[in-house]
Amino acid sequence: MNAIILTATWGVVMMLGGAFIKSKSTPKYLAITGLVLIIIANCIQMNNGASFFTVDVKNMLVFDSFNLTFINVVFGCTLLYFLLNGRDIEKVGEHVSEYFALLFFILCGIAIISTFNSLLMLFIGIEIVSIPLYILTGSDKRNLKSNEAALKYFLMGAFSTGIMLLGIAMLYGGSATGSFFIENIISGNAPMPPLIAAGLVLLLVSMSFKVSAAPFHFWTPDVYDGAPTVFTSFMATIVKAAAFYAFVRLFENAFGSMHEQWQTLIVILTAATLLVGNLTAVFQQSVKRMLAYSSIAQAGFMLFALFALSNMAKEGLVLYAAAYSLASIGIFAILVRIRDYTIDGFNGLAKQQPVLAITATIFLLSLTGIPLTAGFQSKFYMLMAAVQNGHHTWLVIFAVLCAAISAYYYFRVIQAMFLRKVPEMPCWPKI
Amino acid sequence: MDPKNIWITFPELLTWFPLLAGLVAFFIRSEKSVKTWAIMAGLITLGISVVSLLYADPVKHLHLNNVSYFWLKNLGSNFTLGLDGMGRMLTVLTAISFPVIFIATYSTSYKNAHVFYGLMLLTQAGLMGVFTAMDVLVFYFFWELAVIPVYFLASRWGGERRILATFKFFVYTFAGSLLMLVGIIYVYMHTPGTDFSSHSFSMNAMYSALLSPTEKNWVFWLFFIAFAIKMPVFPFHSWQPDTYEQAPTATTMVLSGIMVKMGIFAVIRWILPIFPEAVLQFDNIIIGLSVVGMIYASLIAIKQDDLKRFVAWSSIAHIGLMCAAIFTRSEMGLQGVMIQMFSHGINIIGMWIVVDLIEKQTGTRKISELGGIAHKAPALTIFLVVIALANIALPLTNAFVGEFMMFSGLFGFNKIYTAVAGLSIILAAVYTLNMVQKVFYGETNAISAGMQDISLGQKLVLGVLVVFIFGFGVYPQPLFDLTKDTVAAILTRIN
């Protein structure tokens, strides 16, 4: 509870503070302080279950230690994001404290979708996450691409929200007791009634939109490309990880007992996502777009959590979310500092900025999943969970072949940094 | 020996010492000192491995040769290293090769030499780890640790087309090792036990995995493709000539001298004991592929004009025979592979040293442009001829022993394969003698006129290799003694 109330409050504080704060860098420090306090408050609740606020949530939210751990992971990544990108957020536009306020509202939504126990809370959480994101995508308001991205994102998002609502309504009507609680939707192992089946598919579609799983990924490259890079970084990592967590929680708790009946759907989604993400990423010339497609490809690996739906898979998802978010936040933070987003823009970076190039290499190696990096450990967990599941082992082999393809596009950037010549007019500033 | 008195074991020393030395090398900025440091480190590792030969008794010195500490305990993987006969032989080969390579290429100067030598030593650590790993996950880690430095070595210091060539190499091996990872996980899930803490990645658990015959048949391929890419066996060989040609010669020596042995070693260590039924099922296909590869590679070697590509293709032909001999599952064949792994490492490194010397002095590797070097550099020529004869596997050279045994093993398996494979001996004589004749004999031309004979240091290095060539050619018994236990253990497990 601490996390939800405090993030919302802090968002309001940031927004009102914007009216009084003249200095441009104060909001950043205010936001970092607030986030540290919130993380501490969340840790307190995690350790002894004590919440600062006594709110009767009527069991619509559940605060078990796993959920709270995930919130901590996400907030920790956000803190890192603030620290790394604070200065770049200031550069996006005039209303710095409002950007931070919107980011805090998103965190509030993330806290809700990580703890929901009722479909209504899921819907509210998803909306709280999405609406600020639409604004942030369009925050570079003089840039046509940013405007286009925001509009596209809003239309697509509204569309998927509609589908989700329809699905929720069907589940409500189809469940035996007429309830929004996710564990009450299915009772026993009876065959799935048609209403429930339809609701399930609709929810699957709308959640796939949110996590940009193929074939519902078409908005992703345009939106990620058009949004200001700092916010792309946030969207592609933290928001995506949280959406995945909600996805898995929903399907595990609501439909877990019928896993075998919808596993085939997930298999198709996973295979399509891996294939589309990796193959399209190969052909990108812009690193930003390449990262957008690679985030689709990484989503394919995270879908293994839904495919396997075991404890190991859930642990693997948290690990994957953390490893992927850290590496992507890092690589985006470097990308912000480079003016030319094409792969050639990275040429010879190692000569001029060796430290930057080496850190970028480590992030890329982690994204590829080379041993001794967190990325390898998390991929390893996912593969273990999938093999343990025992069905569809071909999918695992398919996934590792796709991972081999991913080495191609990640290593192109490494090659550009280390092996190509410095251009005559380097387009990165001194740091 | 009392285990309490042992504070460090041989496999640990062999693995961690090059790793530490490599990390230190990154901080030695002066080119001269880092070269000296690398040679010193290589010689110390060699010393350790020679000493380890004296403490090789599997019972008496058990605790000196095996070590295990907790690693990923809840997944059932312990960091287990150990030396058995085959592993010991290959660690010795690795330990001999690196100082030889460092000394032979001493005069080559590298930009950022500290990074170059640091990566080389890291590769050595990775190779040592592969040969001593007794836990399949540890094996996987070292397998990757050995490859990644090579990628950077080749793409940073290589020839003109290095970026593309090494990229191909990397994507190939990465795809292979990921397939192997899936295979490893699959077998692990079927090791005795019910949950993650009772399953295990240890070698014994992997050997006793309960897989059905169908499962074995396809998991076998996940492993085999990874190893086949590494060896390389036809048709997975296409990365190899490009990479050998483009990589800096010191790295090529590591690649061809030792790293291809990783593939052969891994087949013997993991595939034969885990999937004996699948080996039985697919032996004809694989031996067939190997034999086709031998002839194919030999024919291409005849037509090569570039010395580096020439050696690369001739190496593919030799590896093909080793791969075929493994799958005959005969004692003769396997023992021959053991001997040949060592001999091939020595011979091909010698070959590369000669190629490197010629290229450095004349600036070309084209066979058609060279000629008459024998007049200018008689000592070099003598060494080359000895190495070339070993390459053809003439009696009295070390390669003869191995090849003879492998052919006998193959003969017991199938006579037609043996006859076809036997053609490759003739072809080897054709391409090798052809090369020797064109490069070293005939008239001296403008390019070779400036050749100088080799220095004392180079004579010493090549001399050591020639001693090995004749030594094990006349008296290969030490190699038999070292590896016969491994061969016997593997064979009892299969049959």
pLDDT in tens, B95-127: 999 999 998 888 888 888 888 999 999 999 999
- Please judge whether A397 and B145 are an interchain contact, meaning their C-beta atoms are less than 8 angstroms apart: no
**pLDDT tens for residues B193-246?**
777 777 888 888 888 888 888 888 889 999 999 999 988 888 888 888 888 888
CB-based contact B144 A370, cutoff 8 Å = yes
pLDDT of residue A393: 83
**Which residues does chain B have within 8 Å of residue A361's beta carbon, measured at their own beta carbons?**
none
DSSP, residue by residue, B146-171 = HHHHHHHHHHHHS-TTHHHHHHHHHH
Token pair, residue A132, equals: 């600020």
Searching chain A, which residue's CA lies closest to the CA of residue B185?
Answer: A384
Closest chain A residue to B173, measured at CA: A404
Is the predicted pLDDT of residue B1 greater than 60, yes or no? no
The helix (run of H) or strand (run of E) holding residue B72 is strand B66-72
Q: Does the beta carbon of B155 lie under 8 angstroms from any beta carbon of chain A?
A: yes
**A383:B185 CB<8 A:** yes
Is-contact A405 A300, C-beta < 8 A? no
The rounded distance, in Å, linking the Cα atoms of A317 and B145 is 26
Average of per-residue pLDDT values in chain B: 87
Instruction: Dump pLDDT digits (tens) for B23-33.
Output: 998 888 888 88
pLDDT value of residue B481: 86
pLDDT lower than 70: segments of chain A: 187-190, 424-431
Q: Does B239 touch chain A (CB under 8 A)?
A: no
Which pLDDT belongs to residue A38?
92
- Domain chopping of chain A, boundaries: 1-137
Question: Distance of CA A358 to CAs A147, A332, A363, A422, B9, Å?
Answer: 35, 15, 9, 16, 34
Kindly write down the DSSP assignment for every residue of A277-299, as one continuous string.
Answer: HHHHHHT-SBHHHHHHHHHHHHH
Residue B73 DSSP symbol: G
- Which residues, other chains included, contact A285 with Cβ-Cβ below 8 Å and sequence gap of 6+? A342, A343
Alpha-carbon distance B9 to B66, whole Å? 7
Task: Inform me whether the C-beta atom of residue B181 falls under 8 Å from chain A C-beta atoms.
Answer: yes
pLDDT exceeds 70 at position B4: no
Which residue(s) pair with A286 in the sheet? A342
Provide the residue type at B400 as one letter: F
Question: What pLDDT was estimated at residue A134?
Answer: 93
CB contacts, 8 Å: A387 with chain B: 182, 185-186, 189
pLDDT over 90 percentage in chain A: 48
Q: What is the pLDDT of residue A296?
A: 93
Which residues of B fall within a CB distance of 8 Å from A384? 75, 185, 188-189
pLDDT > 70: percent of chain B: 99
B317 and A CB contact within 8 Å: no
Instruction: Report the pLDDT value the prediction gives residue A189, as an integer from 0 to 100.
Output: 62
Alpha helices by DSSP H, listed for B235-275, are: 239-246, 249-254, 260-266, 272-274
pLDDT at position A91 is 86
* Phi (first) and psi of residue A353, to 5 degrees: -135, 75
Rg (CA), chain B: 22
Count CA within 13 A, CB hemisphere, residue B352. Answer: 30
Name the average pLDDT for chain A.
88
Residue appearing with tokens 């860098």: A25
Counting one residue from chain A and one from chain B, the pairs whose CB atoms sit within 8 A come to 61
Instruction: Report the pLDDT value the prediction gives residue B3, as an integer from 0 to 100.
Output: 63
Contact across the interface for B178 and A419, Cβ inside 8 Å: no
CB contact under 8 A, A387 and B182: yes
Q: Is B141 on the interface with A (CB under 8 A)?
A: yes
Among the partner-chain residues A371, A387, A415, the one whose CB lies closest to the CB of B163 is A415
Contacts of A400 in chain B (CB under 8 A): 175, 178-179, 181-182
CA distance A162 to chain B (A): 40
The pLDDT of residue A188? 64
Nearest in space to B409 (alpha carbons), one of B322, B483, B472: B322
Give the number of other Cβ atoms within 10 Å of residue A42's Cβ.
24
**A370 closest CB neighbour out of B148, B167, B186:** B148
Question: How deeply is A208 buried, as exposed, middle or buried, from its count of CB atoms within 10 A (0-12, 13-18, 19+)?
Answer: buried
Q: State the smallest CA–CA distance between residue B144 and chain A in angstroms.
A: 7
